[in-house]
Amino acid sequence: MSHTKQYKFLDLFAGIGGFRIALENLGCHCVFSSEWDKFCQQSYLANFGESPVGDIGKVLTEEVPDHDILTAGFPCQPFSIAGVTKHNALGTKHGFKHPTQGTLFFDIVRILKAKQPRAFLLENVKNLLNHNKGKTFEVIRKTLIQELGYYIHYQVLDAALVLPQHRKRIFIVGFREDLKFEFPTIEPSDITIQDLLEAEVEEKYTLTDHLWTYLQNYAKKHRAKGNGFGYGLVDLAGKTRTLSARYYKDGSEILIPQPGKNPRRLTPRECARLQGFPDDFKIVVSDTRAYGQFGNAVAVPMVELIGRQILQALETPISLTPSPQTDPWV
C-alpha cells in the first residue's frame, strides 16, 4: 500500500507490540511507546530495539511527540460519576470534569486533548459495550465526541474472520474531521488451527494424566449441573476458543488432540501464530509469561485491516460535514 506520507503513531498500553507490527506493515512509523509490565518490555525491546516508557500516567503530555495516529489496547476500568461528584463537593481539583479521572483511559484523553492527532484506534473486550449497564462505554463515547471533538466509529469484530480463533473485540476509530471511513469488509479466511501447528512439539506440552483426569472430571461435574464449563478440545479443521491470558494455568480452553495420548497445550509459538504474529517474532520470556503476553495481545491481521481503512480515510480529501459534530445520542 502506497501512501503520500509516512504517518507517525503512538503505541500506548503497547503490550508486546501487536499494534506496532500492524501499522509498521502499512508503512507507518512509531514515535513513542508505553508499557508498564517489565516482561512485556523485555519482549518489546527484543523485537523492536527499544524499551517502552513505563507508567503512562507519569509521562507529561509535553514529553509525548507529535503524531498522526494514537493506538491503544487500553484496560477496561469502571468510571465513577460519584467520584467526580465527591471531588466537586470537596472543592478539590480533578483534572477533566468527567468521570474518567483515576482510570487509564484518562491518560488517553489527556494525550488526545494535548496533541490532537488526526486519528486514533482503540481496542478493548467486547463487553466494554455492556460494562456497568452500558455506562462505562457511554462515558467513553461522550468524552471522545463532546469534550475532544472527535468523530467516532466503533464495531465488534471477530478475529475468526482472519485467524482460526474466535476472539470478539470492540474497535473504536476516531478522526478530527468527519472523514469517509468504513470498517473493512472481510472475506472469511479458510485458515485452520491445523495450519498453525508446529511439526515437532516437546513432550512437556502434553497434559499429565493427573491434569487430564481432573479436567475431564471437572467438565463431567458441570455438565451434570447443566453448565457449559469444561475443556475445549480443538477441531483441527476448525477454529479455537479465545486465547486468554490465563492459558498458562492449564491450557484447558484450547487443547490439541493427539492420537493415542493425552491432549496437549499450544506452544508459545503456536499462540503467537494464533494471534497473527510473524514467525520471526522473538519469544524471549518463559512459557508462562509468553502465554500471558499472547493472550493479552491484539489480533495483528485485524488491526492491520482496520489500519488500512484509517489511512485510506486520512488520504481521502472528502469531509462529509463541514460543521462541528453533533452527538445524536444526547
- Shared-domain flag, residues 181 and 60: yes
Average pLDDT over residues 281-306: 97
Res 18 pLDDT > 50: yes
- Shared-domain flag, residues 13 and 118: yes
- Shared-domain flag, residues 239 and 203: yes
pLDDT of residue 174: 97
- Shared-domain flag, residues 277 and 309: no
CATH number, residue 206: 3.90.120.10
Considering the candidates 28, 30, 40, 76, report the single residue annotated as catalytic. 76
Res 311 pLDDT > 80: yes
| Residue 246 to residue 231: CA distance in whole angstroms | 13
CB 172 within 8 A of CB 154: yes
* Domain count for the chain: 2
CB 235 within 8 A of CB 245: no
Q: What pTM, to 2 d.p., does this model score?
A: 0.86
Task: Please measure the distance between the N-terminal and C-terminal CA atoms of the chain and give it in whole angstroms.
Answer: 39
Q: Which backbone phi and psi does 110 adopt, to 5 degrees?
A: -70, -30
CB 84 within 8 A of CB 101: yes
Looking at the chain, the whole-number percentage of residues with pLDDT higher than 90 is 68
| Residue 265 to residue 268: CA distance in whole angstroms | 9
Let me know if residue 324 belongs to a domain.
no
The question of whether 76 is a catalytic residue gets the answer yes
- Shared-domain flag, residues 166 and 228: no
Band of the pLDDT at 139, cuts 50, 70, 90?
A: confident
Q: Which three cell numbers stand for residue 325?
A: 459534530
Question: How many other C-beta atoms lie within 10 A of the C-beta of residue 289?
Answer: 18
| Residue 217 to residue 143: CA distance in whole angstroms | 48
